[in-house]
C-alpha cells in the first residue's frame, strides 16, 4: 500500500472491473506485474552467470541462483508492482559486468558499462548509491588478480598498471554522473525550495529528504 498501512484480508474486495478480460487501469497493473516478474527472472539468470564467471563451476552457480529464487522476500517483491525488481536486475547485471572487468581490466567497455549501470541503478532506487564504491573495489580486485596471474599476450587480459585502472575508474565515474544528472537535475529544477530555504538546503531537500512526490514546486 502506498500509505504503508497493512489491511486485513477481509478488507480487500475484488470488484467486477478486476475480472477477465482486464481493461484500463487493471490491465496496466497486470502488465506491470509481468514486467516485475521478468526483472526477477532476469536477476536469477544473471546470478547464475555471475556465479559461473567467478567459480567456473555449474553446481555453485546453480546453487547461488536457486538460493535467490527460493527466497520468500525476493519472490514477493518480484511478483508485485514496484521498482525493487528492476533495481535488483540492474545490480545483478552490474555484478556480472564487474566480474568481467576483473578478468579483462584492459577493456574500456566493461568500466563504462559499470558506470552506466551504477547510474541507472541509483536513479531507480537510492539504496544503490554504494555501487560507485564497488567500482573502486572491483579495480582493487583486478589489480590484485593481475599480480597473482602470469601476463598474457592478449590486450584485454594483460596485466594492468595502476594508472590504467585509475583511468578506468575515473571513466566509470564520469559515466555515472552523466547517467544520474538528468534525474537529479529534474528534481532540483522543478521541486527545489530555494525561495524558502536558501540555495544549498533548497536544492538538496527534494533530493535527500522528501523527494519529488512531496516537495512543493518552485515558483
Task: Quote the CA–CA distance of 55 and 191 in Å, as a whole number.
Answer: 47
**Exposure b/e, 182-205, CB count within 10 A at least 16 = b:** ebeeebbeebbbeeeeeeeebbeb
Lowest pLDDT segment from 1-5, 12-16, 43-47: 1-5
pLDDT on residue 177: 92
pLDDT given for residue 1 in this prediction: 42
CB 29 within 8 A of CB 81: yes
In this predicted structure, the answer to whether residue 212 has a pLDDT above a threshold of 60 is no
Total Cβ atoms within 10 A of residue 167:
14
- 55 or 147: which leads in pLDDT: 55
What does the buried/exposed string (b/e) look like for 61-86 if buried means 16 or more CB atoms within 10 Å of the residue's CB?
beebbeebbeeeebeebbeeebebbb
CA–CA distance, 52 with 62 (Å, rounded to integer): 8
Residue 143 near residue 106 (C-beta atoms within 8 A): no
Alpha helices in the chain (DSSP H): 24-55, 58-69, 72-78, 84-103, 108-124, 131-148, 162-191, 194-197, 199-208
pLDDT value of residue 88: 93
Rounded CA-CA distance 86/135 in Å is 20
Average pLDDT on 107-119 reads: 93
Q: What is the CA 30 to chain-centroid distance, rounded? A: 23
Contact predicate 185/197, CB 8 Å: no
pLDDT per residue as tens digits for the range 122-165: 998 888 889 999 999 999 888 887 776 655 444 444 455 677 78
C-alpha distances in Å from residue 35, one per residue of 31, 32, 73, 86:
6, 5, 17, 9
**Is the model's pLDDT at 38 over the cut of 90?**
yes
Q: What is the pLDDT of residue 4?
A: 52
Report the 10 Å Cβ neighbour count for 110.
Answer: 23
Amino acid at each position: 500500500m502506498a500509505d504503508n498501512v497493512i489491511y486485513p484480508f477481509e478488507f480487500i474486495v475484488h470488484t467486477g472491473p478486476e475480472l477477465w478480460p482486464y481493461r484500463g487501469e487493471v490491465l496496466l497493473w497486470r502488465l506491470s506485474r509481468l514486467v516485475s516478474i521478468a526483472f526477477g527472472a532476469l536477476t536469477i539468470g544473471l546470478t547464475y552467470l555471475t556465479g559461473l564467471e567467478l567459480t567456473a563451476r555449474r553446481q555453485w552457480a546453480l546453487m547461488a541462483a536457486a538460493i535467490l529464487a527460493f527466497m520468500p522476500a525476493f519472490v514477493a517483491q518480484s511478483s508485485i508492482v514496484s521498482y525493487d525488481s528492476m533495481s535488483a536486475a540492474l545490480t545483478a547485471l552490474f555484478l556480472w559486468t564487474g566480474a568481467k572487468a576483473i578478468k579483462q581490466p584492459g577493456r574500456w567497455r566493461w568500466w563504462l558499462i559499470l558506470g552506466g549501470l551504477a547510474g541507472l541503478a541509483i536513479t531507480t532506487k537510492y539504496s544503490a548509491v554504494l555501487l560507485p564504491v564497488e567500482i573502486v573495489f572491483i579495480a582493487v580486485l583486478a589489480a590484485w588478480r593481475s599480480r597473482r596471474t602470469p601476463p598474457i599476450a592478449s590486450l584485454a587480459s594483460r596485466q594492468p598498471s595502476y594508472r590504467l585502472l585509475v583511468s578506468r575508474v575515473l571513466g566509470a565515474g564520469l559515466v555515472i554522473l552523466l547517467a544520474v544528472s538528468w534525474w537529479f537535475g529534474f528534481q532540483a529544477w522543478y521541486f527545489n525550495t530555494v525561495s524558502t530555504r536558501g540555495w544549498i538546503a533548497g536544492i538538496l531537500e527534494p533530493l535527500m529528504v522528501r523527494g519529488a512526490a512531496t516537495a512543493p514546486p518552485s515558483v
